Amino acid sequence: MSAIVTAPGDVARANAGGWQARLALRFEREPARTVLARCTHSGPLRVQKALYPEGPEVCQAIIVHPPGGIVGGDTLDVAIDAKRGTSVQVTTPGATKWYRSAGAPALATTRIRGGPGSCVEWLPQEAILFDAARATIATRVDLEGDAVYVGWDIVSLGRTAAGERFTTGCLRQALELARDGRLVWCERVLLEGGSPALHSGAVLGGAPVFGTLIAAAGALDDATLAACRNAAPTQGEGSITRLPEVVVARYRGDSAPAARTYFATVWRLLRPRLCGREAVAPRIWAT
């Protein structure tokens, strides 16, 4: 992860006073199903059990963080290893809350590896940054051969339902996606609470909620692209960009639920084309 988070070891050492949580999942393909072959954890990160809401081919894991929020000094590390031919869907039961910090940063890293012929879906619910939170969120995806990846992240700057805004604090966010060791997507975000960038039309334009969906599976056909572009969020703005090796959907607006609904709509349109099966929304989203 050192390529996307400056001196992660130094951050971890600085955070030694908080929760140090790690979760490593390995999925393997048996003749007729995908199985969670290994699940190791330390600290407050868990997967309760492997679920099969779509039948044996797709293994769903729901990552639970029992404290319910992240404070300054916490470090969370999730590693997902999807072996050859697996179909894996990982989500969370609710929003991740990042509480205000007196100065210590908090760090969450997600590392995803997809073997040849695998399909990995990373579909967490949103991150809510309380005013004065200091958060570093980093994701690294490594794909091999014809592996497929679809994932999103949604960030709410402040508790918008309570009228709170992100006037102080800091968000550092990074995403790297590589195929066969070659970097095909790289993005970094640095947002300071109360900074002009939050109101710049070229960045957030005053919108407290933003998100990105990335789909990596080679070129996307024109018909599916058009269908995705015809989808629109119920609130805020959405857009779709097709690049040679990834499709990128963006959202900015005032509503995390609108962002989730928009990305879920795009995901439903992409999934049959990219993963070869109709979309089935995780039941946990409705609870």
Please give the share of the chain, as a percent, with pLDDT higher than 90: 82
Amino acid at 262: Y
Average pLDDT over residues 257-271: 97
- Three-class SS string for the chain? CCCCCCCHHHHHHHCCCCCEEEEEEEEEEECCEEEEEEEEEECCCEECCCECECECCEEEEEEECCCCEECCCCEEEEEEEECCCCEEEEECCCCEEECCCCCCCEEEEEEEEECCCCEEEEECCCEEECCCCEEEEEEEEEECCCCEEEEEEEEEECCHHHCCCCCCCEEEEEEEEEECCEEEEEEEEEEECCCHHHCCCCCCCCCCEEEEEEEECCCCCHHHHHHHHHCCCCCCEEEEEECCCCEEEEEEECCHHHHHHHHHHHHHHHHHHHHCCCCCCCHHHHC
Which pLDDT score, from 0 to 100, does residue 14 have? Answer: 40
Strand partners, 159: none
Count structural domains, the chain. 1
Which pLDDT score, from 0 to 100, does residue 5 have? Answer: 36
pLDDT tens, position by position, 153-164: 999 999 988 888
Strand partners, 249: 213, 240
Tell me how far apart the alpha carbons of residues 97 and 69 are, in angstroms, rounded to a whole number: 5
Domain that holds residue 249: 18-275
Average pLDDT over residues 177-198: 95
Q: Indicate whether 15 pLDDT > 70.
A: no
Query: 8-17, 48-57, 266-275: lowest mean pLDDT where?
Result: 8-17
Q: Which residues, 6 or more positions from 33, have their beta carbon under 8 angstroms from its beta carbon?
A: 52, 56, 57, 59
pLDDT band at residue 287, thresholds of 50, 70 and 90? confident
Which pLDDT score, from 0 to 100, does residue 161 have? Answer: 81
Whether residue 285 lies inside any domain: the answer is no
Which pLDDT score, from 0 to 100, does residue 9 have? Answer: 38
pLDDT band at residue 48, thresholds of 50, 70 and 90? confident
Whether residue 188 lies inside any domain: the answer is yes
Whether residue 2 lies inside any domain: the answer is no
Whether residue 122 lies inside any domain: the answer is yes
Whether residue 283 lies inside any domain: the answer is no
Q: Indicate whether 6 pLDDT > 80.
A: no
Whether residue 151 lies inside any domain: the answer is yes
pLDDT band at residue 283, thresholds of 50, 70 and 90? confident
pLDDT tens, position by position, 103-149: 889 999 999 999 999 999 999 999 999 999 999 999 999 999 999 99
Mean pLDDT of the chain: 91
Whether residue 181 lies inside any domain: the answer is yes
Whether residue 139 lies inside any domain: the answer is yes
Q: Which residues, 6 or more positions from 8, have their beta carbon under 8 angstroms from its beta carbon?
A: 1, 2, 107, 109, 138
Predicted TM-score (pTM) of the model is 0.92
Average pLDDT over residues 224-228: 96
Which pLDDT score, from 0 to 100, does residue 17 have? Answer: 63
Q: Indicate whether 16 pLDDT > 70.
A: no
Which pLDDT score, from 0 to 100, does residue 1 have? Answer: 27
